[in-house]
Structure 1
């Protein structure tokens, strides 16, 4: 009996040691995926990391998207915070404010100046974000319980913002974020549009007329094509609207398509050069697809049917 106990002990110790080594390797692998200076405690509070400091597949995908977006936003913040300027950033459709908290943790906290405003219509998420910011001591983060469409006229917000972001703001909320950015004279906008139904509905409404008028209507004859075509047209109109309003626009992928199907990233930087060709093409596309009456005002069309300057 004693021999069995004696010989069994090293096996248990070896197993325990192996388990510890595996845990240590897993922890090291997680830390290797985090950006330098990233607070592990913040990621736990956001439920991106488990209480044990682990990443599951869903949270890894979420973190990857936010980090990729940070790579585009950080150089803008660095440029706009030069000469002691305190940058102001508005995050529309903030949800649980993953993006805002990580931006604050990685950039604003060390900078020591500047503020982030998270705008979200779900009151319970706003309250949760306020409580988390207070716990973490993120004093220059503010959260407003309101729809994106109402934010531009809100007295609680500054008159101007440096950067406007919208990560997966649903349907027309991306357009509302653009309108907010234009009104607040944003120096840059960083947008990742989400689901879009409005243009698709317009295309469905005029489908019979369009099919009789042009063979190009075959591009949205089937429902799945209508949905995708509507989304594509919407983002094209957004880019033209921004260019017509004085922004230089770049469109690229956020991350690999395996991480998100809503993957189009629109980067707009204000130059003040309003492109006449963009205004003309915007008007022509709205007219061609029968969208001018329904969506003209959203994209700057005046009552006469031309694009307002």
Structure 2
């Protein structure tokens, strides 16, 4: 029963979805299918945090999609393509399609995920919703680079909390596919921290900076920080303009760093030099030939 206010008028029950700050045009049925909303339109705190993260990420991706889709439409070239790495349940991909690609009427989204049940569920949901320009591949990010059925080039590459080195593989994918933009939210990364642990004794005798990663908890945090700094320098040395900011408030996620890289073609010599210097300083030289391998041609700009 609706309650009466002091004047005697009855208050109508409030639609719970009105309190969710949903994006205009957002499909309620999609959010229910993704289990972000319950059948009666309610949301729990975990789902609210997840939706907030995806919406914030959409806020950064939407302008890129508008710009690139306008370019391809004017040029009459192939429709805009987006690869979502470490897609999980594909919250990001489905919401991107629902809010942008569906109305656009062209363009493709590829979700890459290693867990087969999640890929199968996403394929079934895309079919159910008629999202026929969504594709899902059950494989690692590294494997997807070599799949012949994938487009030769991608306009945008995203990775939302792709675990460990999957973020680095997503960056490598973007470089290989000549991505015009990359939008990355890094997750945990153990590779650099492991290297720091291996060389800790030698580093402690060589430089007082090694005190920054002498204790295990500091090794983990320093490894994460150094990794993201190296990733940004690597992207700049590869011809991208890089912006680093927060995704959402720290109360929503501890893995909150957002890296947005746009291709300009100006490969910075200074970034390449600093990348090499940092790898040497932290005893990470071997990663120069694997994770952060730069092309043989000299970078084009000094700044």
Q: Distance in 1 between matches of 2:164 and 2:107?
A: 30
SS in 1 for 2:2: helix
Please give the TM-score of this superposition, normalised by the length of structure 2: 0.92
1:273–1:130 CA distance, 2 compared to 1 (3 A): same
Unaligned runs of 5+ in 2: 5-9
2:87 and 2:159 in contact (8 A); partners too: yes
1:27–1:246 CA distance, 2 compared to 1 (3 A): closer
SS in 2 for 1:24: coil
RMSD over aligned Cα, in angstroms?
A: 1.7
Give the structure 1 partner of residue 109 of structure 2.
116
1:80 matched to 2:63? The reply is no
Q: Which digits, 9 at most, give the CA deviation of each residue in 1:144-193, with x for residues without a partner?
A: 01100111110120000000000000000000000000010000000000
SS in 2 for 1:208: helix
Q: Which digits, 9 at most, give the CA deviation of each residue in 1:228-286, with x for residues without a partner?
A: 00000000010011000000000000000000000000000000000000000000000
1:98–1:27 CA distance, 2 compared to 1 (3 A): closer
Q: Which digits, 9 at most, give the CA deviation of each residue in 1:91-144, with x for residues without a partner?
A: 000000000000000000000000000000111110000000000000100000
1:114–1:25 CA distance, 2 compared to 1 (3 A): closer
1:52 matched to 2:40? The reply is yes
Q: Distance in 2 between matches of 1:37 and 1:237?
A: 39
2:244 to 243, 246, 251: 251
1:220–1:163 CA distance, 2 compared to 1 (3 A): same
1:42 matched to 2:30? The reply is yes
- Report the number of matched residues: 289
Unaligned runs of 5+ in 1: 1-15
1:308–1:180 CA distance, 2 compared to 1 (3 A): farther
1:300 and 1:308 in contact (8 A); partners too: no
2:198 to 205, 217, 230: 205
SS in 1 for 2:135: strand
1:60–1:297 CA distance, 2 compared to 1 (3 A): same
Q: Distance in 1 between matches of 2:241 and 2:167?
A: 18
1:196 matched to 2:189? The reply is yes
**Bigger Rg over Cα:** 1
Correspondence 1:197-276 to 2 at 5 A? 197-276=190-269
Offset at residue 301 of structure 1 (A): 5.2
Offset at residue 24 of structure 1 (A): 1.6
1:65 matched to 2:58? The reply is no
Correspondence 1:144-159 to 2 at 5 A? 144-159=137-152
Q: Distance in 2 between matches of 1:153 and 1:284?
A: 31
Correspondence 1:8-47 to 2 at 5 A? 16-18=1-3, 21=11, 23-24=13-14, 26-30=16-20, 33-47=21-35
Give the structure 2 partner of residue 3 of structure 1.
none
SS in 1 for 2:3: helix
Structure number having the greater helix percentage: 1
Offset at residue 308 of structure 1 (A): 7.4
1:301–1:242 CA distance, 2 compared to 1 (3 A): closer
2:287 and 2:293 in contact (8 A); partners too: no
Please give the TM-score of this superposition, normalised by the length of structure 1: 0.90
1:211 and 1:217 in contact (8 A); partners too: yes
Offset at residue 55 of structure 1 (A): 1.2
Correspondence 1:172-191 to 2 at 5 A? 172-191=165-184
